[in-house]
Amino acid sequence: RAAAPVVKAGDRLPHATLRYFDEDDNLQSVATEELFGGKKAVLFAVPGAFTPTCSLKHLPTFLDRADEIRDKGVEVIACVAVNDHFVMRSWGEAVGAEGKILMLADGSAEFAQALGVELDLTDKGLGTRSRRYAMVVEDGVVTRLNLEEGGGFTISGAEDIVNAL
C-alpha cells in the first residue's frame, strides 16, 4: 500500500476510528467525522504514552494551558497516540488529564497512516508510531498544522497553538 500524502492545512481530516474511555469508564469508538465535525478542536499527537518527552514536556503544556485554549473557543482538546485504549486511559489518569484532554487511542496506526504521519520506530522496538504534531481543526478541516521532524519537540507545544488561535 502506498503511503498517504502528508496532511496539510486546508485538508479535511481523513476517516478513522479512534477509541477512548468516557467519564463512566465505558469504551467508546468514534469516527473522526463525528469527533471533529462542526467543532473547533485542538488535536496533538505523541509517538507514545509514558515516553519521556511526551510525558514530561509535550502533554503537560496542554494540561497547563487547557483553560486558556478553551477560552479561545476550542470545544475539544485531544491527544492521540499509537497505543491501545487501556494505555491511553492509564496515561490520562497518571497525568490528571480527566476532564481536560480527551485521550484517544489509534491502536493500529490507522489514523497516523491516513494522515501520512506514521513514524517507523521498529529499530527502537516501538513499531509504527505517529510523528509528533499539534493541529487546529475547524469543522473537520485542518486550519493549522505544526508537524515535528524526527523526535523533535520545538513547534508542537500548547504555546505554539495558543499563539495560532
Asked if 48 contacts 81 with a C-beta cutoff of 8 angstroms, the reply is yes
**Residue labelled with grid coordinates 514536556:** 57
**Across the chain, where does the E strand assignment appear?**
17-21, 27-31, 40-46, 76-81, 102-105, 118-120, 128-130, 133-138, 141-147
Catalytic residue, chosen from 54, 59, 137, 158, is: 54
Closest CA to 164 of 148, 144, 150: 144
Report the number of secondary-structure helices (H) and strands (E) in the chain.
6, 9
CB atoms within 10 A of CB 93: 12
Per the annotation, the verdict on 79 as an active-site residue is no
Catalytic residues: 54
